[in-house]
Structures are given as structure tokens and as C-alpha cells.
Amino acid sequence: MTTNTRGSIGWALLLVGRLALAGIFLFAAYAKLKPQASMGWSMASAKTSLSMFAMQVDSYQLLPPQLVSPMAHFLPLFELFLGLWLLSGILFRYSALMTTLLLGAFFAMMVRTYRMGLEINCGCFGPGERLGVGTLLRDGSLLALAIAITVGAFAISRRKRAQVDAQVSSSTVSAPQHAE
Amino acid sequence: MNSLTLSGSRCVGRLSMPLLAFILGAAVLFVPAVRAQGTEAAAPTAKPKTATKPRAAAPDAAASATPVKTFGNKNAPITMEVFSDYQCPSCRTFFEQTLRPLLGPSPDGYVADGKVYLVHRDFPLPMHPYSFQAARWANAAAKIGRFQDVDAALFDNQGSWGADGNIEKFVAAALSPADFKRVQKLMTGCEGATSTAGVKPASLNSGSGAQAASGCALDAYISSDQELGKSVPVQATPTFVIFYKGQKYPASSGFVTYPILKQFFDSLLSQ
């Protein structure tokens, strides 16, 4: 397998991983913001959905009550932003790194809660999903994917920079010869 | 191709779209939420039509046909059904720190204000040896309209009776001697499988079958609650389901602090 072929496969895997994570984050944000019961989309319905999400954040018993609501309002919007950022591909290695950090924080929080024996809803994709081995495996897999694409993104970036440096140095070496 | 590659600073311009969406979204949603929090106490929602005392429904002279395990005005805009296990530590915390203020006086007591109708549902878990028996005592008390006293006594003393199974002592302390006698009478045939071995949760059988198997008339009420819980589905306790104007909201599990629960109620009432 040539270096070029390997590079293309690596790039394609990164693309798939990036789009998958983007889709997952966009869906997670949608699930938290979508109207509950049979309400239509409105500011009031979003407020109710976020208040409902706040109850899930609160049940993790990690934050003081005064921080629960700001966090519950921030997280879905940040997930929306991260999903769009991943989708755009802009500054990919940084969006991948941010995704890894966020998923790492989620995973650590879930493991802590599971070890404490709290039987609560996960809150990962909206209400109604219990935190358990299944959700831990799923989020652990997502974290592994995020770590893989972050490492890949930095590796490709470094390789590209090395190629550019090599081109620049070869052109500066050859330039005086042309001048002669 | 270029748009998908890992580009550097020349892509910064393209960053503006998601960033703008994020900032606008945050401004629209986050700011009103913070403002609402700041004025929580000064933002009464719909004025309650009737203010009721947060007690279980009025005691009958004789035992009622079905145990009354509800608090507040049935016509309140919000109904909250709590599936609980008397021996579960999270249920105790939820009762002490969240349901007590909810059942307390105004302005925090939304039950007294007629905003919330609270319904207790029994969901004793097989892992707790005395919770089913505790639920029997609570149902017996509910049949004579003294549910609230026994409910509170059971949660308040969970650590004590949870250790030795002596529930009766705390029920007796919570009731007048006359009421306790009535409750004891209702508990006839229900004493059998208590203390050490615990009670086999009839729950997991069908309602009528459970009653027939145990010989305790109260088991049917517990089984009926459990059947209802299975349809939610209740996977852990406490689990609560909230209804607003006939609309059912997804069930939540675990302990939630009262300020956060109240904030959810306020968001519903402000619709």
C-alpha cells in the first residue's frame, strides 16, 4: 500500500468520524431543545425543555443548584455549536480536541454517577434514558472515536506542515542554482 | 475538497457562521432564562383558583374504599405522580428535601397554592426487604385518611425500621391510639411475611393474584401502583411523571432539588 493510498484512507476515515460526531452532537442538542409533550416549537417550549434538562443535570448531584440551570442552558447550545463546527471542518483538529474534552468530561461524570449507585436518567439524548452499562459503553465508544479523530487530525496536520516545510526548503536550495 | 481539508487561518472567515448561530442562540435562550431565575419569587404564574391545605384528602369516618395517597387540589394545573419505595435512600432524600417544601406553606408550597396535585404511588423494590410491608402500613393509613402522617413517619425513620423491620412502632407514634387501632385492623392478615425474610413483592404478580396469594387486602393497591409504574416504565425509584393540562411529560428518575423542580413547574405555568 503506497503512502498516498494510506493517506487517502486515513483522510476518509477522519471524514466519516468527523461527520458522525457532528451528527451525534447535532442530534443531542436537538433532543434537549425539542418541545416535550405535544407542544410546538416556541421560546416557551424551549424553556420548558431546558428546565426539564436541568432536572437531569441536577440528578447527577454534581453542581450546586445555582449552577445547574446555567449549565443546563449552556450545554445544548454548546453541543449545537460543536456539531456545526465539526460539520464545517474548520480548524478541524481544534474542534476534534474540544469534542474529546467534552466527551471525556461527560464520560467521567457518568462513571462517577454509576459508581455512586445513583439510578438516574442519562440526559444524553433528552429525557427518558436510564444511565447504565449500555449508555456507558456508548459514550465510551464515542470518546474513543473522538480521541482517534483528534490524534488523526493532528497527525495529518503535522504531516502536511512537514510536506510544506520540505517544499519550501527544497525551493530555497534550488533557487540560488537557478540564479547562477 | 478544500472545504473538507484541515485548513488553517484562511478558514477563519467560515467560522463565523456556526459562531454566529451559537451566539444568537445563546442570546435568545440563555438570557431570558437567567432573567427568569432572578425574578423567580416575584413572578407568580396563574393565580390559583383554590388554595388547599397540603394534606391527604379529608379522613372519612369509616375507612374509604380505596386508599387516598394524594395531596392538594385535584384540579391543579400540574399533576405530579411519584413512584417511591419507602426503604430507598434516594426516595427519602427526595421526600425530605424536595417533596416537603412542595407540601409546605406558600409561597414555595405549590401544593398548598393549588398549583400542583401530588400523587404518591408505591413501587417497593425486591432488593429492600421491608419496603413492601412499609407500603402496606402506608396504604392502611391512607384508607382512614391519615396517609400524610404515616408517609412522613416512614421516611423520617427509614434508617431505624430499615434495620430491624419494626415499622409498627413508628406508625403507632405517628397516629392517635384510636387511628392506630383502625390501621391495625386493616393490617389484619398482612403481618405474616414481614421482618426478617421480608415480603415477597406481590408486585411482580398481577394485582388480584397477589392479594389472593398473600391474604392481605392491601396488596392489591400496591400491585395496582406497580402495574401503573411498569407502564411508565419505572426502572428505578424515585421516578416521577408530570402532567400539565392533560399532557404527559417524560418521566424523570433520581433525586432532584426543589429549586430546580420548582423552576420546571414555573416554566410550565408560564406557558
**Nearest by CB to B264, which of A52, A120, A128?**
A52
Cell numbers for A94, please give them: 481544534
**Nearest by CB to B11, which of A55, A70, A91?**
A91
Specify the pLDDT at position B210: 42
Residue B37 has pLDDT above 80, yes or no: no
Nearest residue of B to residue A69, measured between CA atoms: B260
User: Is the Cβ–Cβ distance between A120 and B254 less than 8 Å?
Assistant: yes
* Chain A interface includes B89 (CB < 8 A): no
Q: Smallest CA–CA separation between A173 and chain B, in Å?
A: 26
- pLDDT, mean of residues A105-133: 89
Using the beta-carbon criterion (under 8 Å), do A84 and B255 form an inter-chain contact?
A: no
- Residues facing B241 on adjacent strands: B81
Specify the pLDDT at position A161: 84
Instruction: Give CA–CA dist B200/B218, Å, rounded.
Output: 14
Instruction: For residue B10, give the DSSP letter.
Output: G
Cell numbers for A3, please give them: 503512502
* Chain A interface includes B90 (CB < 8 A): yes
Instruction: Give CA–CA dist B73/B93, Å, rounded.
Output: 25
* Chain A interface includes B93 (CB < 8 A): no
Instruction: Give CA–CA dist A170/A20, Å, rounded.
Output: 39
Q: How many CB pairs under 8 A join A and B?
A: 149
User: Is the Cβ–Cβ distance between A127 and B235 less than 8 Å?
Assistant: no
* Chain A interface includes B264 (CB < 8 A): yes
- pLDDT, mean of residues B145-158: 93
Peptide bond preceding B107 in cis form (omega within 30 of 0): yes
Instruction: For residue B61, give the DSSP letter.
Output: S
Neighbouring residues of B170: CB distance < 8 A, sequence distance ≥ 6: B153, B154, B156, B157, B160, B161
Residue B235 has pLDDT above 50, yes or no: yes
Using the beta-carbon criterion (under 8 Å), do A121 and B252 form an inter-chain contact?
A: yes
Which positions 28-57 of B are in contact with A (Cβ < 8 Å)? 28-30, 32-34, 36-37
- B83: enclosing H helix or E strand: strand B78-84
Q: For residue B88, what pLDDT band results from cuts at 50, 70 and 90?
A: very high
pTM above 0.95, yes or no: no
Q: Smallest CA–CA separation between B11 and chain A, in Å?
A: 6
Q: How far is CA B4 from CA A119, B100, B200, B246, in A?
A: 42, 56, 61, 48
Instruction: Give CA–CA dist B58/B42, Å, rounded.
Output: 32
Q: For residue A8, what pLDDT band results from cuts at 50, 70 and 90?
A: confident
Mutate to test the interface with A, among B17, B29, B35, B232 (most CBs of A within 10 A): B29
User: Is the Cβ–Cβ distance between A54 and B265 less than 8 Å?
Assistant: no
Q: Smallest CA–CA separation between B16 and chain A, in Å?
A: 10
Q: How many CB atoms lie within 10 A of CB B40?
A: 13
Q: What percent of chain A has pLDDT over 90?
A: 56
Specify the pLDDT at position A142: 95
Q: Smallest CA–CA separation between A127 and chain B, in Å?
A: 6
**Nearest by CB to B271, which of A44, A55, A119?**
A44
Peptide bond preceding B233 in cis form (omega within 30 of 0): yes
- CA angle at residue A35 from A30 to A38, to 5 degrees? 140
pLDDT in tens, B43-70: 333 333 333 444 444 444 455 678 889 9
For cell 441536577, the residue is A58
Specify the pLDDT at position A159: 83
Specify the pLDDT at position B26: 39
Instruction: Give CA–CA dist B268/B271, Å, rounded.
Output: 5
From chain A, pick out residues whose CB is under 8 angstroms from the CB of B7: 89-91
pLDDT in tens, A59-69: 999 999 889 99
Nearest residue of A to residue B236, measured between CA atoms: A119
Q: For residue A163, what pLDDT band results from cuts at 50, 70 and 90?
A: confident
Specify the pLDDT at position B190: 85
Residue B32 has pLDDT above 90, yes or no: no
* Chain A interface includes B160 (CB < 8 A): no
Using the beta-carbon criterion (under 8 Å), do B263 and A54 form an inter-chain contact?
A: yes
Q: Smallest CA–CA separation between B187 and chain A, in Å?
A: 32
Cell numbers for A134, please give them: 449500555
Instruction: Give CA–CA dist B155/B84, Å, rounded.
Output: 11
